[in-house]
Amino acid sequence: MIKNRLSVLLAVFIILTTACSSSKWVVENQNEIDRNDFELIESVQFLERSGQTTPDNPIVSFNLKAANTFQYAQRVRTDRYIQRYTPSLKSILLGVAGAGLATSAAIVVDQPEINKQVLFGTAGFLTLSSFLNMKPTGDPTPTGESRLLRKTGTITETDTVRAAPIAGNTPSYTVYYNREAIVLRNDIPYVNGSYSINLIDELNPENFEYDSSDAITLEVYFNDVTYQETIALSDFFESFVVVSSDVTALRDEPELDSRNILTDLANGSQMKLVSEDSLWYKVLYGISETWISKSDAYPIWRPSEFASQLNIIAIPNIPFGNVDIESNIPRLTSQNDSAYAFVIANREYQGAYSERTYAERDARLMEEYFQNALSIPANHIYRAINVETRQQLARAYNRLATSLRSEQKRLIVYVSGYVKTGINDDVLLLGTNRGSNEQELNLNAFFEGLSKLPVKEIVVFADLDNVDEKAEQGYIEKLGNQIVDNQPNSAVIFASTEIQNSGMYSVPNGEQKRHSIFTYFIADALKNRQSDITALVNHLQRNVDYTSRKLHNRPQHIVYIGKSDISLVD
């Protein structure tokens, strides 16, 4: 009995865990694109910009692409799925119950044989039907099989692909700068799968004035389409600076200070530009970041390989006393307590004006000769170095005037700096800190004041550079006459005319005297014991213009006004 029950339970377990599966095709899309049924309608070639233009890679490249338009058939798509089924316990129980009743009726009830067979058949049928009544289990599982059936329509699509060039169909281009065409080419070479333009080969950097915001416009023409692109010059050129002054100081800090000078650079020196502000260029000197004054150099565009051939002309730093004129100064007279000297020198110009590199060294040289050669006591020498304002010059002048309580024998003045003309052609000495009219020092008024000091003789050496391009000739003579007209025993000697520059006695790979030519030969005349004005002027006239032409290929004529029979020593 127990064995029969276990058999029944096992049968029920097998029945309940029995499962089957079946497949079916389901319509997924009424308009599926048939990629194998197509027709090419149109193919158009075009250009697509590729890559990035840099100074190390100054190339503008375009890939050749084709836009292919196809017409595809659309069809009904069906996908095949597998569905899993398991028997329903409820159906099995009902079927077994029904089968049991039919079987009982066939056994118990007295019926004809044929009726019993029908009842037994019904019991079997009910049992089988209950097992066949299964329910789906889980979601259908796709098999990955698809079928495209009947055509339902068409669709058009465009596909972009790399293309091969067609003979006779090549792009051309034009380069514009400031709305002017500067390059015109009929074709672009096809190199390594793209059309490429080497901007360095096509554009001469010397044709562009430096402006960090400047750009060119590139227009490329292909298949009746114009491709326009704006390219900054800085995208394919690099920035360099060239020293424009005779000499400029290379510094390790962006400020005017004699202690931060690394070396001096000569005219024509070239360096890589790193950055800039309103007053300074930051440049590479080797691998070091250094500074030079903006007023002493100008920027240029060049290709990146220019950095490998830079021309840097460094002038050796020669301490004071090591130049021939700075040593072995002769003593031309004994102590001269009745002589005075006034030295004005402006070096630290910035902004629009170059620093006057050797101005302070010139001033020191003149002081050495005033004190040692002409025997003027040190406390009789008054200085005004790097004068910024009228008040600063006035204070120095007042110190001198106060010390002249009684009439003295001689006053020697040395003045060095930039000048320009003002109202009534007055000569204005520019203060070193440019910015307002208060920093323009009226030399006419200053010279007039000198002429009224209680001295018997006045000699002025004026190493002045005119920065006023519109100045008319004659103002130098007018300035000198401010003294000569009021003091008969006077002489004024200017380094150059109004339209010339006072040059430096320093050239690349040549003589390095580290002074202005004018100041050097004043000292040279005194060192050669030429202390009267006639001999000194003759010495300057023979040497200043000759040296300027030899070193800088430009004239420099001194201008002399006043009395010639004055001697600087008694």
pLDDT digits (tens, 9 = 90+) for 359-381: 999 999 999 999 999 999 999 99
Clarify whether residues 343 and 414 are in a common domain. Answer: yes
- Identify the band that residue 132 occupies on the pLDDT scale cut at 50, 70 and 90: low
251-268 b/e with 16+ CB inside 10 Å = b?
A: beeeebeeeebbebbbbe
User: Which pLDDT score is estimated for 21?
Assistant: 73
Instruction: Judge whether 388 lies within some domain.
Output: yes
Residue 197 has pLDDT above 60, yes or no: yes
- Count of structural domains within the chain: 2
Top-confidence residue, 171 or 473: 171
- Identify the band that residue 189 occupies on the pLDDT scale cut at 50, 70 and 90: confident
Domain endpoint, select from 280, 315, 350: 315
Average pLDDT over residues 120-132: 59
Clarify whether residues 257 and 359 are in a common domain. Answer: no
> Which residues have a Cβ under 8 Å from the Cβ of 507 and sit 6 or more positions away?
246, 266, 551, 552
- Identify the band that residue 549 occupies on the pLDDT scale cut at 50, 70 and 90: very high
Instruction: Judge whether 269 lies within some domain.
Output: yes
Query: Which of the residue ranges 124-138, 210-224, 319-333 would you say has the lowest mean pLDDT?
Result: 124-138
Rounded to the nearest 10 degrees, how much is the dihedral formed by the CA atoms of 510, 515, 518, 520?
Answer: -90
Instruction: Judge whether 384 lies within some domain.
Output: yes
Clarify whether residues 369 and 408 are in a common domain. Answer: yes
- Identify the band that residue 489 occupies on the pLDDT scale cut at 50, 70 and 90: very high
Q: Indicate the average pLDDT of the chain.
A: 86
Clarify whether residues 444 and 302 are in a common domain. Answer: no
- For residue 343, the number of C-alpha atoms closer than 13 Å in the C-beta half-sphere is 24
Domain endpoint, select from 260, 282, 315: 315
Rama region for 232: left / alpha / beta (φ>0; ψ in -120 to 50; rest): beta
Clarify whether residues 376 and 469 are in a common domain. Answer: yes
- Identify the band that residue 9 occupies on the pLDDT scale cut at 50, 70 and 90: very low
Residue 304: which domain range? 238-315
User: Which pLDDT score is estimated for 485?
Assistant: 92
> Which residues have a Cβ under 8 Å from the Cβ of 175 and sit 6 or more positions away?
181, 182, 183, 184, 202, 203, 216, 217, 218, 219
- CATH classification of the domain holding 242: 2.30.30.40
Residue 1 has pLDDT above 50, yes or no: no
Instruction: Judge whether 429 lies within some domain.
Output: yes
Quote the percentage of the chain above a pLDDT of 70: 87
Tell which residue, 446, 484, 459, 483, has the closest CA to residue 540: 459
Clarify whether residues 491 and 348 are in a common domain. Answer: yes
Expressed in angstroms, the distance from the first to the final Cα of the chain is: 159
- Identify the band that residue 417 occupies on the pLDDT scale cut at 50, 70 and 90: very high
- Identify the band that residue 458 occupies on the pLDDT scale cut at 50, 70 and 90: very high
Average pLDDT over residues 114-124: 59
Instruction: Judge whether 117 lies within some domain.
Output: no
Instruction: Judge whether 172 lies within some domain.
Output: no
500-521 b/e with 16+ CB inside 10 Å = b?
A: bbbbbbbbbeeebbbbbbbbbb
Contact call for residues 127 and 47 (beta carbons, < 8 A): no
266-303 pLDDT, tens per residue? Answer: 889 999 999 999 889 999 998 899 999 998 999 999 99
- Identify the band that residue 126 occupies on the pLDDT scale cut at 50, 70 and 90: low
Clarify whether residues 284 and 394 are in a common domain. Answer: no
At 13, which amino acid appears?
F
Joined together, the tokens standing for residue 225 give 């389409």
- Identify the band that residue 8 occupies on the pLDDT scale cut at 50, 70 and 90: very low
Query: Which of the residue ranges 79-93, 99-113, 400-414 would you say has the lowest mean pLDDT?
Result: 99-113
Clarify whether residues 281 and 363 are in a common domain. Answer: no
Instruction: Judge whether 188 lies within some domain.
Output: no
User: Which pLDDT score is estimated for 169?
Assistant: 86
Clarify whether residues 291 and 337 are in a common domain. Answer: no
Residue 92 has pLDDT above 70, yes or no: no
Residue 437 has pLDDT above 60, yes or no: no
Clarify whether residues 343 and 277 are in a common domain. Answer: no
CA distances (Å), origin 469, targets 15, 69, 101, 498: 115, 69, 131, 9
| Residues of the chain by 3-state class (helix, strand, coil), percent to 5 | 30, 40, 30
**pTM recorded for the entire structure:** 0.69
Domain endpoint, select from 259, 281, 315: 315
Clarify whether residues 305 and 266 are in a common domain. Answer: yes
Instruction: Judge whether 222 lies within some domain.
Output: no
Top-confidence residue, 562 or 435: 562
- CATH classification of the domain holding 397: 3.40.50.1460
Clarify whether residues 462 and 347 are in a common domain. Answer: yes
